[in-house]
Structure 1
């Protein structure tokens, strides 16, 4: 039960982090600079936690040769997933930018569990678990797209719709990498014998990757000059992100990658609906509909099926 609560809490934190980082992007003028700032703050937080708990940030260098190469790329996968969301939004819109990666996360989560990939907890894919996963996907689709479908029911399909297949595929692959990151970081925690050290190392790798991206593309820093003062909370996204990775490292070895993914997705949808309902963190207020509540209940039923069967 504790693992499920942790999964829900870190899932709820994800849309909050997104809203915070979106505000940081407005202040800094670049999504990459905002992401680098967020990752750097998260890395510092995890470094402090690691020093307090483990009294060291290092580990035996021999692990680089003794362990498989994929053990060290979890942070890279996280950056790819983050960058994918930035690239997909203008191409697919908000609805498909959510749905496509979610589909990839669910597919990869089930595959990882079924085959025990990345030395994860093995849970064979049964027909019942597949039904549960489909219910979760159906719930996500309904929660994020029902209003959009209603608003566009009289509109014809965009002429460019047929040319978006590659972007949808990219979104699915990004979601699969996100689920892989969770499994990899879970195993890294076991290898290092430390949940917090694994989270720190993963975040550090992500920060280095983002730093290289910023050096290559050299985005211009444009400090916001709006009359409205920048809020203090726009610097907290990295803290939430660090705690999310830490929660993932703890969760995956206990319940498996597939269930971790769907529990966090449930928390994500709950957090998103709360933000929409109350318009918190300067977000536009979009009252939650009955259809979205029903979609959330469908998701919960899917999680229950996967958990029990």
Structure 2
């Protein structure tokens, strides 16, 4: 039970990280440069944590005999991050949220059922399937999709794609979500191999920083820090995204071998929705205040029931 609560807390930091990184992007201009700064802060945080907690840096030789995919977590993280940047203008806000979540849930259950990436096996049964469906339905309610259908006056934002291109980007959204779940399982197994979840997170961030640095150099993004129009100063909290990202990756690496990839994904998704609704409801971190609706609250309750249905048996 404590692991589930920890998963929810890990998920809570993600909306805060998103808000911080979005504000950082306004000041540095390039989304890739903002991600690089965020990853670099996370790398420094995990480097310090490894020295203080483990007393030494990760020893890659401990995982040298394992398959090459054990090192892919950091690259997958960059792919997922970059993928969302491309999805939003083409699919709109709702599909950009729902499709990757669907991919995460599907891949998480498959990893557990088949024991992919050396993950512990948790067979898919009717109860776990029902819990996953309730969670996805709860997400639809929490992000306002159900509310928009019930109240025609409310509209969901849509993207610019149509026809075959639209469906191609929809499939890509699901795939990006599957990559995210795979990253969770891979980092979890890397943590087992290294004997340290902090070490696994540090290795993941190392690969992430290297990948983003190559992207920034290839795109020739200008290195700058400006004050966006309409802002008197840059807030201190725009720099904490990397620290929170480090905590998120560590949480994934720690939880996946303990409670399984599927339940890790779902508890973190629950935390993400709670955090998002709190930020909107109270207008935190510069967000426009949008009070939580009854349908959103019911959606959140369904997510809780879905996670409980998978955890309790």
Is TM-score (shorter-chain normalized) higher than 0.5? yes
Equivalent positions of 1:74-85 (< 5 A) are: 74-85=73-84
Matching of residue 210 in structure 1 with residue 209 in structure 2: no
Equivalent positions of 1:210-289 (< 5 A) are: 210-225=212-227, 226=229, 227-289=231-293
Question: What is the Cα-based RMSD across aligned positions, in Å?
Answer: 1.8
Aligned equivalents of 1:116, 1:202: Cα separation in 2: 21
Aligned equivalents of 1:257, 1:62: Cα separation in 2: 23
Deviations 1:149-195 (A, max 9, x none): 4456689x999543411111111000000000000111101100111
TM-score (norm 2): 0.94
Aligned residues: 307
- In the superposition, relative to structure 1, how do residues 120 and 154 fare at CA in structure 2: closer, same or farther (>3 Å)? closer
Aligned equivalents of 1:161, 1:143: Cα separation in 2: 26
Equivalent positions of 1:68-217 (< 5 A) are: 68-144=67-143, 145-149=145-149, 150=151, 160-162=161-163, 163-217=165-219
Report deviation, 1:148.
4.4
Aligned equivalents of 1:203, 1:23: Cα separation in 2: 21
SS state of the match for residue 286, structure 2?
coil
Report deviation, 1:92.
0.9
Residue segments in structure 2 that go unaligned for 5+ positions in a row: none
- In the superposition, relative to structure 1, how do residues 204 and 60 fare at CA in structure 2: closer, same or farther (>3 Å)? closer
Aligned equivalents of 1:284, 1:94: Cα separation in 2: 16
Report deviation, 1:61.
3.3
Aligned equivalents of 1:68, 1:231: Cα separation in 2: 43
- Preserved CA contact (<8 Å) 2:11 2:271: yes
- In the superposition, relative to structure 1, how do residues 154 and 84 fare at CA in structure 2: closer, same or farther (>3 Å)? closer
Aligned equivalents of 1:170, 1:47: Cα separation in 2: 33
Residue segments in structure 1 that go unaligned for 5+ positions in a row: none
Deviations 1:273-293 (A, max 9, x none): 000101100011111100000
Q: Name 1:59's counterpart in structure 2.
A: 59
Report deviation, 1:55.
2.3
Aligned equivalents of 1:305, 1:54: Cα separation in 2: 36
TM-score (norm 1): 0.95
- In the superposition, relative to structure 1, how do residues 242 and 213 fare at CA in structure 2: closer, same or farther (>3 Å)? same
Report deviation, 1:261.
0.5
Aligned equivalents of 2:215, 2:199: Cα separation in 1: 24
